[in-house]
């Protein structure tokens, strides 16, 4: 380990040119940071966010139904806590219990002083904390976690979308569509990948056609067509909500991408594994299901987590079929002349929210990768 | 030649059993049935709404007002010209395709340049530089392209000064009505300018091809060809006058003329796509440089090469080979992402398809056309890059 001075000399000032570059970058960075802080603390008017936070988070969900948003949020935070607890090796029960106690006290205090919305926000944190605590239980396995996410998705869908007229929007809609797309595109994608690596040319050709066609088209067109075609192929009196059509579009589109990731994993499994399975007397299905697929999926898990981030980042394209997702909600906010002066506040807020989400996801992807590396 | 080992599960191995044939027939049958069923129900659905399936709408007058881009005119020979509202729907779609290709090609070139620069910053030994490039890449890759596009359009391009207070920068006019850069204009004394350029390129390519691999002239032939072509150009210029003149845009109160105009929408979609894609390209550059084994660096250092020399003559040639396939993917993504232009009203192919579908109700017929166009763009980019890749491999950079 070299000292700070030596490190500076080597990595910042090895020669005159590098020294100038370092100093210039430092100066620009310092100025930008200073300007941003000054703006954010003194001249930005954050009321535009605080006053419209409900619209940004839950869209135009009517007031009496707002409990749906809070319930779904709490369930989501619980699951996030559970997953983080599985990923992170920190499982100090007393610490977590202490945190939960502290949060409970804070919730009580907020309720007493008449700030129910802060009490609810703290309740979300408490839900995450409880989830983390549950992850410490020895019976919470990865299989259980996966099943729990599937159940959560179905439950959240039913809570958030009671009827077409009072469906949710905003960030919660984005999360919901992401979860649906991730969960449903996975089995379809695995099936397509198996089909594409099959030795039966008929099946292979069908899967290749589907995957290559979908992958060469933009997502926005698939969404638009899924939205347009679905009512045409149904009998006249059956109506399907825009949300379902959007979710179908996302699932069909990302299934092709999942298929390509999984195919990469399948090709990475050594042939000897198949031979060994065959010599043990396993048939094609069993050797695939018990030997090849687990290894393939394990090796592409980081890529699949990256795919989740990709889906989440593309959910704003739902604007094309008229759904008010987070980014669209921000645009609607800005189209109000009353808020047109607070453009930068809204954009900075949206960028910050997306960055926070993405950082969490890409960090967990890295943790998954590192853990797989040890085994 | 050794016999290929038999690989279980690999394609085209082994004899098909009746059971397997049955499964294949079933799978293909189901796929065909799904497609046919989809087609039939769409057909009946359309019939129910009294919209018979036909492509006749393509030749109807569109009535659209499109100022951006050019369209094909085949009434008096083939020519590219601005769109008129009396033109047909098909011509409007051609204009959309033109705009999509324009954004995609410009975007590919610019994002490659920016991506290489940021990638070079990422692998720099200078800690400050590599960190700030990392920050750029993370910020761009982790936020949706759509919000970036909105940001560039509403918060940057439309916030530029109006034309009468526009910023002037070396002849470039930057305003919210558009950005105008100086351009080269062909002087009128050179009627055969473009044929001459084409001839020069052909001549150069021919010289390269004719002497490729010849040991005696292989190195000198390109140089000799360049010198000969340059001499020819100089000689004709001395006789006819300079072939190109600088066309500097001039701003009046409400509009500017001359130079190369970039509309606000085009500038925004281009900025968004270039910045977004360059972050991914930078990661590819970094990844492929790091993929070259560390032993190569040590070997280069052991030969006495400096870091820069080792990078340019040992590491980069190997990294290029790894770089091309993922780069193609990014180019394809960029081409597909041009469809987001609909969000800010830039008339690309998908946007014009949407408008025409709304006006005529012919969304299903349009699907086929748009699908075909995107497939064509994809195949074209893949084909070009595959050719380049083959050339790269053929050069012995392996």
Residue B180 host element (H or E) = strand B178-181
A363 touches chain B (CB under 8 A): no
A350 touches chain B (CB under 8 A): yes
Instruction: Tally the residues of chain A.
Output: 375
Are B336 and A206 in contact (CB < 8 Å)?
A: no
pLDDT at A59: 82
**A176 CB-near residues (< 8 Å, 6+ apart):** A72, A153, A156, A157, A160, A161, A168
Q: What is the pLDDT of residues B311-332, one digit of tens each?
A: 888 888 888 888 888 888 899 9
User: pTM, whole model, 2 decimals?
Assistant: 0.85
* Alpha-carbon gap, residue B29 to B17, rounded angstroms: 18
Band (pLDDT 50/70/90 cuts) for residue B16 is: low
What mean pLDDT, rounded, does chain B reach?
Answer: 83
Residue in B46, B126, B143 nearest the CB of A11: B126
* Alpha-carbon gap, residue B144 to A315, rounded angstroms: 8
Specify the DSSP class assigned to residue A289: I
pLDDT at B166: 77
Q: How many C-beta atoms surround the C-beta of residue A267 within 10 A?
A: 10
Task: Identify the residue among B150, B151, B365 best suited for mutation to test binding to A, counting A beta carbons within 10 A and taking the highest.
Answer: B150
Long-range contacts of residues A152-159, Cβ cutoff 8 Å, at least 24 apart: A152/A75, A152/A76, A152/A79, A152/A179, A153/A179, A153/A180, A153/A183, A155/A75, A156/A72, A156/A75, A156/A76, A159/A68, A159/A71, A159/A72, A159/A75
A313 touches chain B (CB under 8 A): yes
* Pair B334, B273: CB distance under 8 Å: yes
Q: What is the pLDDT along chain A (375 residues), one digit of tens a residue?
A: 567 788 777 777 777 788 888 888 889 999 999 999 998 888 888 888 888 888 888 888 887 888 888 889 999 999 988 888 887 766 677 777 888 888 888 888 888 887 777 888 888 888 888 888 888 777 777 788 888 899 999 998 888 887 766 678 889 999 999 999 999 999 999 999 999 888 888 888 889 889 989 999 999 999 988 888 777 777 667 777 888 888 999 999 999 999 999 998 898 888 888 899 989 988 888 888 888 998 888 888 888 888 999 999 999 999 988 888 899 999 998 888 888 888 899 999 999 999 999 988 888 888 887 877 644
Cα A22 to Cα A184, B50, B294: the distances in Å are: 48, 69, 26
CA–CA min distance B217, chain A (Å): 40
Most confident stretch, A95-109, A245-259, B34-48, B185-199: A245-259
B193 touches chain A (CB under 8 A): no
Q: Which two tokens stand for residue B124?
A: 């720099």
Phi/psi at A216 (5° precision): -95, 0
Residue in A220, A232, A343 nearest the CB of B42: A232
Identify the residue with better confidence: A17 or B288: B288
Residues of B in contact with A344 (CB under 8 A): 155
Task: Identify the residue among A200, A263, A264 best suited for mutation to test binding to B, counting B beta carbons within 10 A and taking the highest.
Answer: A200
* Alpha-carbon gap, residue B266 to B348, rounded angstroms: 10
CA–CA min distance A18, chain B (Å): 7
Closest chain A residue to B152 measured between Cα atoms? A347
Tell me the percentage of chain B whose pLDDT exceeds 70. Answer: 92
Band (pLDDT 50/70/90 cuts) for residue B22 is: confident
| Centroid of chain to Cα B313 | 29
* Pair B326, B284: CB distance under 8 Å: yes
A32 touches chain B (CB under 8 A): no
Are A274 and B126 in contact (CB < 8 Å)?
A: no
Are A220 and B332 in contact (CB < 8 Å)?
A: no
Q: Which two tokens stand for residue A289?
A: 């299901």
Are B127 and A359 in contact (CB < 8 Å)?
A: no
B363 touches chain A (CB under 8 A): yes
Closest chain B residue to A329 measured between Cα atoms? B147
CA–CA min distance A198, chain B (Å): 7
Are B125 and A11 in contact (CB < 8 Å)?
A: yes
Residues of B in contact with A206 (CB under 8 A): 27-28, 31
pLDDT at B101: 92
**B287 CB-near residues (< 8 Å, 6+ apart):** B322, B326
Residue in A221, A274, A327 nearest the CB of B339: A221
Are B27 and A206 in contact (CB < 8 Å)?
A: yes
Task: Identify the residue among B33, B128, B135, B268 best suited for mutation to test binding to A, counting A beta carbons within 10 A and taking the highest.
Answer: B128
CA–CA min distance B280, chain A (Å): 13
CA–CA min distance B345, chain A (Å): 12
B4 touches chain A (CB under 8 A): no
CA–CA min distance A8, chain B (Å): 9
How big is the A-B interface in CB pairs under 8 Å?
A: 154
Residue in B42, B128, B151 nearest the CB of A12: B128
B42 touches chain A (CB under 8 A): yes
- pLDDT of residue B371 exceeding 80, the answer is yes
A25 touches chain B (CB under 8 A): yes
Band (pLDDT 50/70/90 cuts) for residue B276 is: very high
A295 touches chain B (CB under 8 A): no
* A77: nearest Cα among A186, A177, A175, A185: A175
Closest chain B residue to A205 measured between Cα atoms? B28
Q: B298 - beta bridge partners?
A: none
Residues of B in contact with A195 (CB under 8 A): 27
Burial call B4-30: b when 16+ CB within 10 Å, e when fewer: eeeeebeeeeeeeeeebeebbeebbee
Could you give the angle at the alpha carbon of B266 between the alpha carbons of B263 and B267, nearest 5°?
A: 85
- pLDDT of residue B398 exceeding 50, the answer is no
- pLDDT of residue B12 exceeding 60, the answer is no
CA–CA min distance B201, chain A (Å): 32
Task: Identify the residue among A206, A208, A212, A223 best suited for mutation to test binding to B, counting B beta carbons within 10 A and taking the highest.
Answer: A206
Q: What interface predicted TM-score (ipTM) does this complex get?
A: 0.88
**B179 CB-near residues (< 8 Å, 6+ apart):** B172, B173, B261, B262, B267
Are A320 and B27 in contact (CB < 8 Å)?
A: no
Most confident stretch, A159-168, A278-287, B79-88, B110-119: B110-119
* B344: nearest Cα among B93, B177, B151, B173: B151
* Alpha-carbon gap, residue A357 to A203, rounded angstroms: 38
* Alpha-carbon gap, residue A221 to B363, rounded angstroms: 11
B358 touches chain A (CB under 8 A): no
Are A218 and B350 in contact (CB < 8 Å)?
A: yes
A217 touches chain B (CB under 8 A): yes
Q: Which two tokens stand for residue A186?
A: 């996975």
Q: Which two tokens stand for residue B207?
A: 């010289």
Residue A6 host element (H or E) = helix A4-11
Residue in A204, A231, A271 nearest the CB of B7: A271
Residues of A in contact with B42 (CB under 8 A): 229, 232-233
Residue in A22, A200, A284 nearest the CB of B24: A200
Q: How many C-beta atoms surround the C-beta of residue B92 within 10 A?
A: 26
pLDDT at B350: 92
């Amino acid at each position: 380990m070299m000292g700070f001075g030596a490190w500076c000399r080597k990595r910042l000032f090895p020669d005159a040119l590098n020294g100038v570059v370092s100093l210039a970058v430092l100066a620009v960075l310092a100025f930008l940071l200073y300007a941003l802080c000054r703006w954010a603390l003194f001249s930005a008017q954050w009321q535009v966010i605080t006053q419209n936070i409900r619209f940004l988070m839950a869209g135009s969900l009517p007031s009496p139904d707002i409990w749906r948003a809070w319930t779904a949020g709490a369930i989501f935070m619980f699951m996030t806590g559970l997953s983080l607890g599985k990923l992170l090796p920190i499982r100090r029960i007393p610490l977590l219990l202490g945190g939960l106690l502290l949060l409970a006290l804070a919730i009580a205090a907020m309720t007493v002083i008449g700030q129910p919305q802060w009490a609810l926000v703290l309740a979300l944190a408490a839900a995450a904390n409880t989830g983390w605590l549950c992850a410490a239980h020895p019976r919470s396995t990865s299989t259980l976690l996966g099943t729990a996410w599937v159940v959560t998705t179905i439950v959240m869908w039913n809570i958030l979308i009671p009827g077409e007229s009072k469906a949710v929007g905003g960030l919660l809609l984005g999360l919901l569509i992401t979860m649906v797309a991730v969960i449903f595109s996975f089995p379809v994608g695995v099936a397509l990948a198996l089909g594409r690596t099959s030795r039966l040319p008929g099946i292979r050709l069908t899967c290749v056609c589907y995957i290559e066609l979908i992958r060469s088209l933009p997502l926005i067109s698939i969404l638009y067509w899924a939205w347009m075609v679905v009512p045409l192929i149904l009998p006249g009196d059956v109506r399907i909500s825009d949300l379902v059509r959007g979710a179908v579009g996302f699932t069909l589109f990302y299934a092709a991408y999942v298929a390509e990731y999984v195919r990469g994993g399948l090709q990475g499994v050594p042939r000897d594994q198949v031979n060994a399975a065959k010599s043990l007397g396993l048939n094609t299905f069993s050797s695939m299901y018990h030997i090849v697929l687990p290894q393939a999926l394990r090796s592409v898990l980081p890529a699949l987590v990256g795919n989740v981030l990709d889906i989440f980042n593309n959910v704003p394209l739902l604007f094309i079929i008229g759904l008010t997702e987070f980014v669209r909600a921000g645009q609607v906010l800005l189209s109000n002349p009353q808020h047109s002066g607070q453009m930068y506040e809204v954009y900075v807020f949206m960028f910050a929210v997306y960055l926070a989400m993405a950082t969490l996801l890409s960090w967990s992807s890295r943790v998954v990768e590192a853990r797989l590396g040890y085994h | 030649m050794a016999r290929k080992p038999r690989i279980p599960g690999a394609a085209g191995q082994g004899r098909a059993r009746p059971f397997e044939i049955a499964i294949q027939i079933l799978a293909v049958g189901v796929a065909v049935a799904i497609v046919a069923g989809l087609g039939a129900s769409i057909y009946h659905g359309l019939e129910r709404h009294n919209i018979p399936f036909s492509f006749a709408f393509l030749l109807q007058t569109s009535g659209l007002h499109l100022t951006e881009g050019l369209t094909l005119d085949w009434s008096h020979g083939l020519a590219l010209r601005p769109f008129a509202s009396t033109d047909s729907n098909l011509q409007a779609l051609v204009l959309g395709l033109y705009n999509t290709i324009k954004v995609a090609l410009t975007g590919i070139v610019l994002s490659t340049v920016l991506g290489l620069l940021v990638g070079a910053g990422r692998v720099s030994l200078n800690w400050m530089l590599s960190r700030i490039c990392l920050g750029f890449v993370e910020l761009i890759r982790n936020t949706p392209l759509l919000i970036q596009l909105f940001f560039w359009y509403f918060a940057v391009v439309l916030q530029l000064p109006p034309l009468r207070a526009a910023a002037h920068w070396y002849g470039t006019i930057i305003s919210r009505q558009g950005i105008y850069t100086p351009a080269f204009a062909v002087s009128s004394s050179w009627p055969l300018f473009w044929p001459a350029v084409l001839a020069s390129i052909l001549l150069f390519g021919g010289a390269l091809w004719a002497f490729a691999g010849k040991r005696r002239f292989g190195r000198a032939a390109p140089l000799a060809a360049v010198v000969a072509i340059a001499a020819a150009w100089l000689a004709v210029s001395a006789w006819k006058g300079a072939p190109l003149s600088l066309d500097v845009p001039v701003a009046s109160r409400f509009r500017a003329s001359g130079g190369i105009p970039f509309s606000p929408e085009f500038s925004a979609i281009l900025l968004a796509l270039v910045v977004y894609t360059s972050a991914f390209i930078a990661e590819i550059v970094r990844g492929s440089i790091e993929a070259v084994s560390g032993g190569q660096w040590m070997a280069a250092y052991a030969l006495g090469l400096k870091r820069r020399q080792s990078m340019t003559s040992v590491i980069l040639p190997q990294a290029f080979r790894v770089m091309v396939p993922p780069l193609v993917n990014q180019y394809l993504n960029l081409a597909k992402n041009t469809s987001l232009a609909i969000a800010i009203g830039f008339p690309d192919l998908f946007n014009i398809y949407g408008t025409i579908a709304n006006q005529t109700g012919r969304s299903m017929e349009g699907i086929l056309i748009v699908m075909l166009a995107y497939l064509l763009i994809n195949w074209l980019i893949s084909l070009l890059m595959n050719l380049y890749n083959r050339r790269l491999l053929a050069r012995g950079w392996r």
